[in-house]
């Protein structure tokens, strides 16, 4: 009977990838915990924050930045609109997309949400000195860019 070959140990790069994914999952979980009392999911928060930061953004770009499909983004926007957190133009603009803006109520809610998320991010980096935080950010940007700038 043939022996089944065991996969080799993970490479240091694979271990780093797993660690980044575990960190992202923990960050997402903690963000969900602090946003829940405000009545927001992480995706809703990301949507509101992106609309605040990039007025006039297209629905396609909004979906990409929030890491959801266009269909999921449409459902998310409908829910935010029903809650009175966003307003969408009646008439579609270029590319048949309706512009989306935050309501004053959303701006107030977003301020509270940002403060809660900032506390989570602060806890995540509390043991790092400013130089280490800057270096970590530069390294993560380099990793992201290596994956997004290279073909498939």
CA 108 to chain centre: 20
Nearest to 50 by CA among 143, 82, 58, 71: 58
Locate 16 and state its tokens.
């780093």
Rounded distance between C-alpha atoms, residue 80 and residue 26, angstroms: 25
All domains of the chain, ordered by start, with CATH? 31-149 (1.10.10.10)
pLDDT in tens, the chain (152 residues): 566 776 678 899 999 999 999 999 999 999 999 999 999 999 999 999 999 999 888 888 999 999 999 999 999 999 999 999 999 877 665 656 667 999 999 999 999 999 999 999 999 999 999 999 999 999 999 999 999 886 65
């Amino acid at each position: 009977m043939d022996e089944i070959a065991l996969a080799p140990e993970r490479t240091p790069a694979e271990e780093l990838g797993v660690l980044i994914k575990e960190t992202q999952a923990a960050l997402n979980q903690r963000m969900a915990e602090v946003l829940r009392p405000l009545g927001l999911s992480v995706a809703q928060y990301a949507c509101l924050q992106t609309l605040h930061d990039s007025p006039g953004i297209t629905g396609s770009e909004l979906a990409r930045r929030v890491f959801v499909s266009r269909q999921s983004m449409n459902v998310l926007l409908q829910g935010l609109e029903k809650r009175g957190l966003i307003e969408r133009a009646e008439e579609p603009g270029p590319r048949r997309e309706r512009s989306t803006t935050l309501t004053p109520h959303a701006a107030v809610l977003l301020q509270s949400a940002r403060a809660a998320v900032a506390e989570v991010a602060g806890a995540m980096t509390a043991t790092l000195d400013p130089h280490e935080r800057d270096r970590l950010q530069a390294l993560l940007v380099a990793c992201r860019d290596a994956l997004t700038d290279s073909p498939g």
